[in-house]
């Protein structure tokens, strides 16, 4: 392999056609005049290992990873960052020159950066955070909230045992609350986060009581299709500070782009527009 190769990167998942990452990364490549390419790759679980070992030989410098491979790639990586280990999943792989793989998880970083931008006055230590959902995204969100200094996380999930597992993994700052009590924890929280897929186009609506919203509470939804979910709409009506999920998607992509292509890209209005195009 020569040093003059054009850097290649991409996103691996299945299905992958819906991914906004290629549009976003190509926008940054164009904006910064970088002679690289970023491609979507639909890869089955059976082929994942072989593909990951072949890509570096073909000039790939790294890839993003999405469903259903975020956990499986940890078993194929040569080095795993502490935060990816804690979360139990990776979304950003970087290939070294010798083809070895570094696995990282930037979802928590993206989540916090999005909050910092969308709700700059939110102070993590100001009160409990209510987290709805206990899937893969919730793990990244909880790890980030704990690291940021949130004193208490009120966690609720339809399948309680999944939430209990997160309490086991993340410790006493996480308090598990029954799904039927979801409306109540909203009243007590200074930050409310939806990490379930409810409210997303094609999925059922998030049907928990939302009349407990207080003015000034920060409310964010990881769902970004639609951009304004019912949760965010009702929060806005209650004069909460709302932050949509698209910003998290944009911010989580920054570390990968910087590592692979050597430039730290900006997340601004034009970037949002490019991802939505």
**192 lies in the site for ligand NAP, by CB under 6 A:** no
Say which residues have a Cβ less than 8 Å from residue 273's Cβ, sequence separation at least 6. Answer: none
Question: Smaller CB distance to ligand NAP: residue 74 or 200?
Answer: 200
Which listed residue (57, 70, 165, 228) is catalytic?
Answer: 70
**84 lies in the site for ligand NAP, by CB under 6 A:** no
Question: Smaller CB distance to ligand NAP: residue 74 or 138?
Answer: 138
Please tell me the chain's helix, strand, coil percentages from 3-state DSSP, rounded to the nearest 5: 40, 20, 40
Contact 269, 247 (CB under 8 A): no
Give residue number: closest CB to ligand NAP: 135
Determine phi and psi for 190, rounding to 5 degrees: -95, -10
β-strands 92-95, 60-65 pairing? antiparallel
Question: Smaller CB distance to ligand NAP: residue 23 or 53?
Answer: 23
Q: Residues binding ligand NAP: what is the number (CB under 6 A)?
A: 25
**109 lies in the site for ligand NAP, by CB under 6 A:** no
Q: Measure the N-to-C terminal CA separation of the chain; round to a whole number of Å.
A: 36
Could you say which of 23, 158, 167, 272 contacts ligand NAP (CB under 6 A)? 158
Could you tell me the sign of the dihedral formed by the alpha carbons of 123, 125, 126, 129, in that order? positive
Minimum distance from residue 11 beta carbon to ligand NAP (Å): 13
Determine phi and psi for 195, rounding to 5 degrees: -110, 5
Contact 16, 48 (CB under 8 A): no
Integer CA distances (angstroms), 248 to 45, 61, 224, in order: 26, 23, 9
**209 lies in the site for ligand NAP, by CB under 6 A:** no
In the region spanning residues 234 to 253, those forming contacts with ligand NAP, defined by CB under 6 A, are 245, 248-249, 252
Is-catalytic flag, 20? no
**27 lies in the site for ligand NAP, by CB under 6 A:** no
State the catalytic residues: 70
The residue ranges that bind ligand NAP (CB under 6 A) are 107, 110, 133-138, 157-159, 162, 195-198, 200, 204, 222-224, 245, 248-249, 252
């Amino acid at each position: 392999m020569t040093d003059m190769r054009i850097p290649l990167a991409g996103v691996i998942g299945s299905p992958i056609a819906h991914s906004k990452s290629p549009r976003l990364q190509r926008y940054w490549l164009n904006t910064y005049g970088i002679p690289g390419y970023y491609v979507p790759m639909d890869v089955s679980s059976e082929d994942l290992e072989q593909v990951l070992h072949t890509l570096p030989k073909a000039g790939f410098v790294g890839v993003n990873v999405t469903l259903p491979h975020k956990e499986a790639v940890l078993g194929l990586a040569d080095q795993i960052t502490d935060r990816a280990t804690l979360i139990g999943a990776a979304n950003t792989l970087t290939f070294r020159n010798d083809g070895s793989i570094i696995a990282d998880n930037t979802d928590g970083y993206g989540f916090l950066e999005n909050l910092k931008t969308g709700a700059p006055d939110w102070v993590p230590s100001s009160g409990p955070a209510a987290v709805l959902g206990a899937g893969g995204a919730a793990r990244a969100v909880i790890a980030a909230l704990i690291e940021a200094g949130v004193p208490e996380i009120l966690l609720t999930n339809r399948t309680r045992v999944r939430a209990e597992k997160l309490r086991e993994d993340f410790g006493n700052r996480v308090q598990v609350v029954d799904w039927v009590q979801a409306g109540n924890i909203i009243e007590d929280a200074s930050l409310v986060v939806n990490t379930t897929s409810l409210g997303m186009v094609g999925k059922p609506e998030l049907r928990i009581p939302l009349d407990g919203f207080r003015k000034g509470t920060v409310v964010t939804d990881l769902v970004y299709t639609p951009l304004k979910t019912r949760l965010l709409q009702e929060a806005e009506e209650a004069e909460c500070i709302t932050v949509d999920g698209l910003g998290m998607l944009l911010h989580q992509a920054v570390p990968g782009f910087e590592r692979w292509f050597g430039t730290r890209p900006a997340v601004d209005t034009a970037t949002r527009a490019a991802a939505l195009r």
